[in-house]
Amino acid sequence: MFDYLGDKISNAMKNIRGMGKITEENISDAMKEIRMALLEADVNYTVVKEFTNNVKEKALGLDVSKEINPDELFIKIVRDELISLLGETSATLETSKKPTILMLVGLQGSGKTTTAGKLALYLRKKHAKNPILVACDIYRPAAIDQLKTIGKEIQVPVFEEGTQEVNKTIANALEYARENNNDYIIIDTAGRLQIDEKLMDELKSIEDNFKPDEVILVIDAMMGQDAINVINGFNNKLNLTGCILTKLDGNTKGGVALSVRHLTNVPIKFVGDSEKMDGLTSFDPKRMAERILDMGDIISIAEKVEGIVDEEEAKEEARKMRKGTYSLEDFLNNLKQIKKLGPLEKIIGMLPQARKMGLNNINIDPKQLAHVEAIILSMTPYEREHPEILKASRKQRIANGSGRSVQEVNALLKQFEQMKVMMKQISNGNMKMPF
Amino acid sequence: MGLFSNLKSLFSKKKEIEETSIELPSNNEEKLIKENTDKEEVSQISEEVIEDKLDNEKELSNKEIVEEKKVIEKYDKGLEKSRKEFVSNLSMLGIKYSKVSEEYFEELEQILIMADIGVNTVFKFMDDIRSRVKKENIVDTAYLNEVIVDELFIIYVNGESLSDKINMAESGPTVILMVGVNGVGKTTTIGKLANKYALSGKKVMVIAGDTFRAGAVEQLKIWAERTNTEFYGKEGIDPAGVIYDGLEQAKNNGSDIVLIDTAGRLQNKVNLMKELEKINKVINKIIPKAPHETLLVIDASTGQNGILQAKSFKEITNITGIVLTKMDGTAKGGIVLAIKEEVGLPVKFIGLGEGLNDLETFDIENYIYGLFKDLIN
């Protein structure tokens, strides 16, 4: 998400590499680049000003000893400053009482309903909680239907009482939750402008009546400089406890993340990074800062892999690779695991090495993976373990079965053989990695 | 003062056309002036001008004038929040710095960036202003404010003859396809457009091509009911399929206008963009030359990403214009200036509220008038 910002700052760093120490002159270009990059990322104008001033002050004020490269020192200053801007610690979700009441608020189209669904699924899956969703968008046509459809998909009950006054609905929902032993109530409210007094009063009345444990502002990461008016508008009227940034899977630079915490002290709790219902990730300022600085997001990948790959299985696979008995069946399993990680572009985008190789903008057609899968699935289990028995007629059958051509079947088998040879060499230490 | 005075004349009692045409400094502006005078008939702004016009103009009936006035009032009301801040900032600038100085430039830059006008556009703009100040030896900030309005016009108009006209089919239904990222207001805009065309006596059909978002089909159906227009949609099937069937029906039952909703898609999602390509092919197959208009819907609060949105969607489809939504908020929608400059896409409609009637044809003069009213008067 912060690709551009990372690249720009990185570039600015290059210019000061090779210089002995940090002076006003040799960082002026870098500072300009940083300023431009932050503005292009929609970071609030005053935040940019403060940020660049702070960085400059710290960089110039330091006694640069000869052992340290000035660019590394500079990167560290920028990194630390970014972290402090994003908020030092990760924010957690309130869990103190039962049922805990969460209320989502925000402008029209910021993604409240989708985020409500994601939050419910997150609580149900990751924390084994038993939430309900409460439909309180009584204005937008079919908004309640939308929440109901989402509820069905993620198997979370949706409480709705049509378009009646929202405080009544919430009171009944609360009763329902107590009776049914639900531990979370997630209130999906209608989108509204922060300057719409009547609708803002409606939110205030919910806050006064039910004292929600969390009032979370859902905000579009693509927002420009007006973000601060929106955040302040909601924050002045309500006691916001947190913020969720949505649509970060777009190619927005998402500088609003930098503005939110710094200007309002409202912590960012989650980010929405996919259209799928599991596309909600805890916001981690350190990780975000490193990502901004092009250090890649290895931790994110590691975390994702952890949830998907079974350690025992992985060990077994490594053993098979060493022995050269890694079969097409194993390959198929790996493919399935890779698919679970999400779009490959996203994974590659997180890798700093890949980014340096220019692979960050690569497009991988998920169909190609599906074709490979189809071909393997058209083989018998025996064939998957012993691909050497595949001759013309079997290949033709597999091609027909998978809807691909014989050439594609051949290409896959050839690639697989090469891969096996390479795996063996690598694990025996006979070959250096090509990179 | 060329364009600015021309603009001013539109807003105030006296027209100063003669005066302005004497002072034309550049070719570019000459074109603009010509255009403005051409457009004059449709751009009376204030009551006084309207009254003035009544005496010597024959083409406009009373009714038209009242309508025109309504439109302007709506712009005025819708843009109030955006304008107030922007203009008061700009006026304050004039009060704070009576002489043009480095601080003045710095603050001007801030005001423009805060309006989301686009970083590159602003920086280029600042360079232009600086060099003009130097060349013309401008010291008076009040005068410079006029120059700023002038230059902003030039950015948007860029010497082209601007058309906010909707391209209509010569025969058969006119197809308008709506595209954009998630949550910008595509479905709502279709509702408003359907209302607009239905009221003008057209037979309108809306097709629910967003089969992805939960509730989207239902939402459009409700809009169709509210606007008394025909609806075509099926949930849970391929959008291209729905559009195919819908267009067949529209062709057979003699619809004049077909409005097609599509799912929100982030412009970097390759597969979704491919889907859009496919939708286009399907439309073109059933109705040659269609879609007649492909409108990219952009939320006024969108920042720099708006430029990328415009670029990416333009690569995939033949975007013919922008619909700028949610202009009733505090966002200034300045990104449309950058989009016009960098991608060449004009704004055709502007959304000024949540009501059925809160959609207006975009008029750059009204828009800038709305933003600068207080400054000019």
Using the 3D structure, point to which of A86, A108, A131 is the last residue of a domain.
A86
- Residue B7: the pLDDT is 45
Note whether A24 and A132 are same-domain residues. Answer: no
Q: pLDDT band at residue B1, thresholds of 50, 70 and 90?
A: very low
Note whether A106 and A245 are same-domain residues. Answer: yes
Domain CATH number, residue A167: 3.40.50.300
B3 has pLDDT over 50: no
**Residue A216 is assigned to a structural domain of this protein:** yes
Note whether A262 and A315 are same-domain residues. Answer: no
- Residue A432: the pLDDT is 44
For residues A369-387, average pLDDT: 88
Percentage of residues in chain A having pLDDT higher than 90: 37
The whole-angstrom separation of Cα A82 and Cα A71 is 16
Fold for the domain defined by B2-157? Four Helix Bundle (Hemerythrin (Met), subunit A) (1.20.120)
Enumerate the residues of chain B whose CB falls inside 8 A of the CB of residue A199: none
Angle, helices B62-78/B80-96, rounded to nearest 10 degrees: 70
Enumerate the residues of chain B whose CB falls inside 8 A of the CB of residue A249: 266, 268-269
Tokens 């006035």 correspond to B69
- Residue B279: the pLDDT is 95
Q: Is the Cβ pair A226, B81 closer than 8 Å? A: no
A209 has pLDDT over 80: yes
- Residue B50: the pLDDT is 44
* Apex A421 CA angle, A419 and A427, nearest 5: 100
The whole-angstrom separation of Cα A281 and Cα A244 is 10
* Apex A187 CA angle, A182 and A189, nearest 5: 165
DSSP collapsed to 3 states, B99-149? ECCHHHHHHHHHHHHHCCCCHHHHHHHHHHHHHHHHHHCCCEHHHHHHHHH
A243 has pLDDT over 90: yes
**Residue A434 is assigned to a structural domain of this protein:** no
Note whether A80 and A110 are same-domain residues. Answer: no
Domain CATH number, residue A397: 1.10.260.30
**Residue A92 is assigned to a structural domain of this protein:** no
> What is the rounded average pLDDT for all residues in chain B?
79
Q: Is the Cβ pair A226, B110 closer than 8 Å? A: no
- Residue B118: the pLDDT is 85
Q: Is the Cβ pair A226, B329 closer than 8 Å? A: yes
Q: Is the Cβ pair A247, B181 closer than 8 Å? A: yes
- Residue B146: the pLDDT is 77
* CA-based max dimension of chain B: 67
A321 has pLDDT over 80: no
Domain of residue A399, residue span: 302-428
Contacts of residue A364, defined as CB under 8 A and 6 or more positions apart, other chains included, come to A343, A344, A345, A348
Question: B138 — contact with chain A (CB < 8 Å)?
Answer: no
B59 has pLDDT over 60: no
Question: What radius of gyration do chain B's Cα atoms show?
Answer: 22
Which region among A57-66, B301-310, B318-327 has the lowest average model confidence (pLDDT)? A57-66
**Residue A166 is assigned to a structural domain of this protein:** yes
The whole-angstrom separation of Cα A167 and Cα A138 is 11
Note whether A203 and A243 are same-domain residues. Answer: yes
DSSP string, B70-84: HHHHHHHHHTHHHHH
A45 → closest Cβ in B114, B305, B330: B114
Q: Give the number of domains in chain A.
A: 3
Is B307 in contact with B338 (CB distance < 8 Å)? yes
- Residue B34: the pLDDT is 45
- The identity of residue B161, as a single letter, is S
Note whether A129 and A249 are same-domain residues. Answer: yes
The whole-angstrom separation of Cα A145 and Cα A135 is 9
DSSP collapsed to 3 states, A183-213? CEEEEEECCCCCCCHHHHHHHHHHHHHHCCC
Question: B116 — contact with chain A (CB < 8 Å)?
Answer: yes
Question: A52 — contact with chain B (CB < 8 Å)?
Answer: no
> Which of A3-17, A306-320, B125-139, B294-308 reaches the highest mean pLDDT?
B294-308
Side-chain half-sphere CA neighbours of B13 within 13 A: 0
Note whether A147 and A278 are same-domain residues. Answer: yes
Enumerate the residues of chain B whose CB falls inside 8 A of the CB of residue A366: 271
Q: pLDDT band at residue B261, thresholds of 50, 70 and 90?
A: very high
Note whether A286 and A204 are same-domain residues. Answer: yes
Is B217 in contact with B208 (CB distance < 8 Å)? yes
- Residue A83: the pLDDT is 83
Is A190 in contact with A136 (CB distance < 8 Å)? yes
For residues A108-136, average pLDDT: 94
Q: Where are the domains of chain B?
A: 2-157, 174-361
Q: Is the Cβ pair A193, B299 closer than 8 Å? A: no
- Residue B192: the pLDDT is 96
Output the CA–CA distances (angstroms, integers) from residue A207 to A173, A215, B96, in the order listed.
Answer: 15, 8, 41
pLDDT tens-digit map of B325-361? 998 888 888 898 889 888 999 999 999 888 899 998 8
Fold for the domain defined by B174-361? Rossmann fold (3.40.50)
Q: What is the bridge-based pairing of β-strands B257-262 and B204-209? A: parallel
The whole-angstrom separation of Cα A122 and Cα A131 is 10
- Report how many Cβ contacts below 8 Å link chain A to chain B: 140
- Tokens representing residue A108 in the block: 């029209």
A289 DSSP assignment: H
B215 → closest Cβ in A45, A108, A143: A143
- Residue A186: the pLDDT is 97
- Residue B373: the pLDDT is 52
- Residue A111: the pLDDT is 93
ipTM: 0.75
| Chain A closest-CA separation from residue B331 CA (Å) | 5
Question: B84 — contact with chain A (CB < 8 Å)?
Answer: no
Q: Is the Cβ pair B301, A227 closer than 8 Å? A: yes
B242 has pLDDT over 70: yes
Altogether, the residues listed in chain A come to a count of: 435
Q: Is the Cβ pair A233, B330 closer than 8 Å? A: yes
Question: A143 — contact with chain B (CB < 8 Å)?
Answer: yes
Domain CATH number, residue A38: 1.20.120.140
Burial B318-347 (b: 16+ CB within 10 A, else e): ebbbbbbbbbbbbbbbbbbbbbbbebebbb
DSSP string, A140-167: STTHHHHHHHHHHHHT--EE-BTBS-HH
| Chain A closest-CA separation from residue B136 CA (Å) | 29
Question: B211 — contact with chain A (CB < 8 Å)?
Answer: no
A116 closest CA partner among A128, A132, A95 = A132
Note whether A330 and A409 are same-domain residues. Answer: yes
